Structure 1
């Protein structure tokens, strides 16, 4: 199988169709017609998905479970700062790093390159990665293996609830509900990357940081303690603070419409995102606070990406 010819054929298809991206179901028949890769009759797009899962088309990425394949020749990386001028003064302004993909693509590409330079192996990078084991709620087995979860839950709910008792209120849908990682670095490194935005820094997240003594981590706990220190998000009516649907583990605890159960829930689930990879035999989650990109959550400049690189290198995270 000639991967280079397959990539070139995909590029040709996108240029013919004047599209920015294609998908496995769309492109596999074209590749079969070119004599490069037969499609599956029962599961259209499966052959190219297998190639994607192996990371053999490194510029492709996932949004949720859906693969997106852009033109390999039109991926722009790390443009240099440009000089802008007007009638009054001349100032240096950096353009955002251009990408047709996920907003965190520049960070994903940075980490892939750091790994490649250090280990001489380029891993695949997946976006909005949703593995079957990344559950939104702990399983009975996890509760048995990690008694600290019950203690943490009690602190998050001000000792008003017992995790084991509330667990019995979970529906089948609750039990099967999954989370997603912002990014996932694949074989052979196997670790998640979480880019923590404003809503992940607050009084409840700070509580969880006191429960990492028995968990391998890939972020500087001291830095995260400082970033959460003194930050209090107050109850509100928005989806950032108040749950819009019922969660048996985090019921409304306050009188009135203004609630903070979404904040408590988010802090608990962040802890699970750090715990579950370890429990399932993978490497620790790498966390990057948005303060490293000057509190920007997209359209990063080269300087902001270099700040992320410095944070990763200084803390020995790769």
Structure 2
């Protein structure tokens, strides 16, 4: 079972609702588009250049949706992402240099940068070779890691532009007591409630229903 499955189930329990785990949004796709990025498009393309993206490969690849880990509908209206170790690479750390000022986020980006600094070697080493493969848009060793980092910015920047609340992220390292079994049942639920409350407070929206 993927780690995210149990975490999403616990978030569902805390919020008292069922998440959509196959949500698709017309504006959340696998290529940067001025139509959907709007005022953030130039920053997105500057990041793309920083990550050595290949435009010919990007335009040639098939169009597709980026399906979030989960989407919590009315009354919450937010995408939920559970970030496991492989997300915390040097590529992801570099993305934060390009985040627009005053962008609404439901997590602490500086904490994520610290996670990247602490875990980037293990992050790139994790998993099968496909985690480090070339991709059409980032055609070099560890291109998949660069692509993952680029797409994480899509999931952060686009939702508030298109009527959703900021994306709620939880890092694997933040829920170790739950994943290890140290916390379970009601204590795990209380712990998750605290994590979610911090994020809702930071992003300045009421997700209590």
What TM-score does the superposition give when structure 1 sets the normalisation length? 0.52
Q: What is the total number of aligned residue pairs between the two structures? A: 190
User: Residue 306 of structure 1 aligns with which residue?
Assistant: 190
Number of the residue aligned with 2:43: 148
CA contact (8 A) 1:288 1:308 kept: no
Superposition map of 1:86-101 within 5 A: none
Structure 2 counterpart SS, 1:208: helix
Matches within 5 A, 1:118-197: 124-142=18-36, 145=39, 146-157=41-52, 166=55, 170-171=59-60, 174=62, 176-197=63-84
Q: Residues 231 and 298 from structure 1, CA distance in 2 versus in 1: closer, same or farther, beyond 3 angstroms? A: closer
Structure having the higher strand fraction is: 1
Partner residue of 1:208?
A: 95
SS at match of 1:294: helix
**1:188/1:143 Cα in 2 relative to 1: closer, same or farther (>3 Å)?**
closer
Report SS of the residue matched to 2:20. Answer: strand
CA distance in structure 2 between the partners assigned to 1:271 and 1:289 by the alignment: 15
Aligned-pair CA distance for 1:168: 7.5
Give the secondary structure class of the aligned counterpart of 1:288. strand
Partner of 1:108: 12
The aligned counterpart of 1:281 is 163
After TM superposition, give the deviation of residue 279 of structure 1 in Å: 2.4
Q: Select the structure that is richer in helix.
A: 2
SS at match of 1:138: coil
Secondary structure at the residue paired with 1:275? helix
Greater displacement, 147-156 / 222-231? 222-231
Residues 1:223 and 2:111 aligned together:
yes
Alpha-carbon displacement from aligned partner over 1:224-251 (angstroms, at most 9, x marks no partner): 12212233244797111214xx42x211
| Higher RCO (C-alpha under 8 Å, 6+ residues apart) | 2
Deviation of the 1:305 alpha carbon: 4.1
Mark the CA change 1:142 to 1:198 in structure 2 (over 3 Å): closer, same or farther.
Answer: same
1:294 aligns with 2:176: yes
Q: Distance in 1 between matches of 2:139 and 2:177?
A: 31
Q: Is the 8 A contact 2:43 2:100 kept in 1?
A: no
Tell me the alpha carbon deviations over residues 130-153 of structure 1, each in whole angstroms, 9 at most, x when there is no partner: 223220111242466320011111
